[in-house]
């Protein structure tokens, strides 16, 4: 695929280059608008895991910086907990909202500028307004969870691989720490980033004209992802005495395959020949993954620490044995889970929880009263309406892309093709990883689905930019012809 002139344009050649103060003001305004769900709610949005992330940060920080080790650090991402710790210090979660909204606004700004160098500020604000009102992006930016960092990771990779020439040196180097934090913030982010790097290597190899520069860019991104994974292993090695990628991760895949049915059938037929800890719970196997993992009387929660370790060690042997015994049945169930997750993106993750309220006493004791008055705590958020709005926004965005892609395809723009490849593949891969390996949950789809309207908006801005460029070039040629005639 040949590169167009706009793909090769350097920052110094961009027609509009607003002053840095104007750019900063635009990003700040975009971040402020994205935070409206938190202000509407009356408090930052919370999930059960939010309290764990807030609580684990001080424990891990004492172990890392004061060498005060603990017997238990939790099962969530330590890097996300450490990253947000300076923003809350167990007093207020509002600075976390500010941080996440600023990061989202900044990355979206860079994406807009990569395709629309003219009138970039006004178009950025228009796009942020569209996304903030009609999609989940603002809700997840104001959500005390690492979910929003996934889309920022994928967009950052797009910028570094396909739009590096639109970034200043400071912007390029600032994106790498963001990639590192996002990769370590959630286990699925690492899997998806690794898959995206492999896909981009294939894309670079199949380009019509070989691009060593792009391959080097993919190599740098892959190195950043690998370095983040190594940092995660090093931290787990320090805390647990054994380097692992996921620490004390519960056996999500075991729970998923048992709930699907084939693994449960395998255990029922073979437990009399196996010496596995899971066989001690044969009569209690659940078709609900949440009940298996998190129920008070569930198999995993009710097990001792020693038995939990045994269950985790049996996860992969059970998965391999099930696939050998029932490959067709498991493939069918996994495909159904993938399909279900692909279309599950409702805004239903903000329900009130007694557990959240109970955790306030030692996680955010001074903020408990404010949370109790929030719409989330009183179950007053219009989640059904918000879900319907986002659904029709996604449908309209897909229709717009169908109309725009033929117009844009004629230019053979590598940048636009790369943007589409990154967004589409990550929405699909996200559904595959979460639905097949964990559980079908609206939250997993909702955290990335806003990338689809973003892609539609960026395609529209690119089309408008090309129309404007063609008009400018036409006027320039007409002027040159008039001058030539006069001469």
Last residue of a domain, one of 342, 366, 396: 342
Residue 172: its H or E element: helix 169-185
Q: Do 323 and 352 have their domain in common?
A: no
Query: Is the separation of the CB atoms in 27 and 352 below 8 Å?
Result: no
Query: Is the separation of the CB atoms in 131 and 101 below 8 Å?
Result: no
Residue 8: inside a domain: no
Q: Do 289 and 426 have their domain in common?
A: no
Residue 11: inside a domain: no
How many CB atoms sit inside 10 A of residue 151's CB? 27
Which of these, 104, 107, 108, lies nearest to 139 by C-alpha position?
A: 104
Query: Is the separation of the CB atoms in 8 and 165 below 8 Å?
Result: yes
Q: Which residues pair with 45 in a beta bridge?
A: 143
Q: Do 179 and 293 have their domain in common?
A: no
Task: From residue 323, give the alpha-carbon distance in Å to each of 27, 97, 360, 431.
Answer: 49, 43, 43, 20
Q: Do 44 and 105 have their domain in common?
A: yes
- DSSP class of residue 45 equals B
Q: Do 152 and 214 have their domain in common?
A: yes
- DSSP class of residue 51 equals H
Query: Is the separation of the CB atoms in 60 and 78 below 8 Å?
Result: yes
Q: Do 306 and 291 have their domain in common?
A: yes
Q: Do 37 and 96 have their domain in common?
A: yes
Terminal CA-CA length for the chain: 40
Residue 475: inside a domain: yes
Q: Do 322 and 243 have their domain in common?
A: no
Residue 209: inside a domain: yes
- H helix intervals, 271-413: 289-294, 305-325, 327-342, 354-363, 368-372, 383-409
| pTM of structure | 0.92
Q: Do 122 and 227 have their domain in common?
A: yes
| Domain of residue 158, residue span | 20-249+344-486
Query: Is the separation of the CB atoms in 361 and 416 below 8 Å?
Result: no
pLDDT, position 464:
85
pLDDT, position 16:
54
pLDDT, position 96:
98
Which of these, 449, 467, 473, 466, lies nearest to 154 by C-alpha position?
A: 449
At residue 103's C-alpha, the angle toward residues 45 and 18, to 5°, is 135
Residue 14: inside a domain: no
pLDDT in tens, the chain (487 residues): 444 444 544 443 444 567 788 899 999 999 999 999 999 999 999 998 999 999 999 999 999 999 998 888 877 889 999 999 999 999 999 999 999 999 999 999 999 999 988 888 999 999 999 999 999 999 999 999 999 999 999 999 999 999 999 999 999 999 999 999 999 999 999 999 999 999 999 998 887 676 788 899 999 999 999 999 999 999 999 998 888 887 778 898 999 999 999 999 999 999 999 889 999 998 888 788 888 888 878 898 888 888 988 999 999 999 999 999 999 999 999 999 999 999 999 999 898 888 899 999 889 999 999 999 999 999 999 999 999 999 999 999 999 999 988 877 766 688 899 999 999 999 999 999 999 998 899 999 999 999 999 999 999 998 888 887 777 667 777 676 677 666 5
Residue 452: inside a domain: yes
Last residue of a domain, one of 276, 307, 342: 342
Angle of the 20-34 helix axis to the 94-115 helix axis, nearest 10: 120
Number of structural domains, the chain? 2
Residue 408: inside a domain: yes
Last residue of a domain, one of 277, 307, 342: 342
Residue 297: inside a domain: yes
Q: Do 292 and 410 have their domain in common?
A: no
Q: Do 276 and 239 have their domain in common?
A: no
Q: Do 164 and 283 have their domain in common?
A: no
pLDDT, position 13:
40
């Amino acid at each position: 695929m040949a590169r167009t002139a706009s793909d090769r344009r350097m920052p110094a050649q961009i027609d509009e280059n607003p002053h840095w103060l104007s750019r900063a003001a635009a990003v700040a305004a975009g971040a402020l608008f994205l935070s409206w769900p938190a202000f509407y709610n009356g408090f930052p949005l919370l999930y059960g895991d939010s309290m764990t992330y807030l609580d684990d940060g001080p424990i891990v920080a004492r172990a890392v910086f004061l060498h005060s080790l603990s017997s238990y650090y939790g099962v969530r991402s330590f890097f996300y907990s450490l990253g947000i710790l300076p923003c809350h210090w167990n007093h207020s979660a509002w600075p976390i909202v500010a941080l996440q909204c600023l990061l989202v606004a900044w990355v979206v700004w860079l994406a807009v500028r990569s395709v629309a160098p003219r009138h970039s500020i006004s178009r950025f604000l228009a796009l942020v307004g569209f996304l903030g009102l009609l999609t989940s992006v603002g809700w997840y930016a104001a959500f005390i969870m690492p979910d929003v960092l996934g889309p920022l990771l994928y967009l950052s990779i797009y910028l570094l691989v396909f739009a590096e020439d639109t970034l200043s040196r400071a912007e390029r180097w600032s994106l790498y720490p963001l990639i590192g934090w996002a990769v370590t913030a959630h286990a699925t982010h690492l899997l998806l980033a690794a898959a995206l790097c492999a896909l981009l290597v294939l894309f670079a190899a199949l380009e019509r004209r070989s691009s060593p520069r792009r391959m080097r860019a993919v190599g740098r991104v892959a190195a950043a992802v690998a370095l983040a994974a190594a940092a995660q292993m090093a931290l787990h090695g320090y805390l647990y005495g054994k380097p692992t990628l996921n620490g004390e991760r519960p056996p999500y895949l075991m729970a998923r395959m048992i709930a699907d049915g084939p693994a449960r059938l395998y255990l029922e037929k073979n437990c009399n020949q196996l010496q596995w800890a899971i066989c001690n719970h044969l009569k209690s196997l659940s078709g609900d993954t949440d009940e298996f993992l998190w129920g008070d009387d569930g198999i995993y929660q009710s097990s001792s620490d020693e038995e939990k370790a045994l269950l985790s060690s049996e996860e992969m042997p059970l998965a391999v044995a099930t696939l050998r015994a029932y490959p067709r049945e498991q493939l069918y169930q996994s495909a159904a889970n993938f399909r279900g997750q692909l279309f599950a993106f409702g805004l239903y993750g903000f329900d009130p929880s007694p557990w959240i309220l109970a955790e306030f006493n030692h996680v955010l004791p001074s903020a408990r009263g404010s949370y109790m008055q929030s719409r989330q705590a009183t179950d007053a958020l219009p989640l059904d309406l918000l879900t319907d709005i986002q659904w029709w926004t996604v449908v309209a965005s897909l229709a717009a892309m169908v109309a725009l892609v033929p117009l844009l395809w004629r230019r053979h723009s590598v940048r636009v093709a790369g943007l589409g490849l990154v967004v589409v593949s990550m929405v699909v891969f996200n559904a595959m990883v979460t639905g097949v390996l964990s559980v079908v949950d609206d939250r997993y789809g909702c955290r990335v689905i806003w990338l689809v309207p973003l892609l539609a908006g960026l395609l529209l801005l690119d089309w408008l930019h090309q129309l404007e460029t063609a008009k400018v070039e036409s006027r320039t040629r007409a002027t040159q012809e008039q001058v030539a005639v006069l001469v």
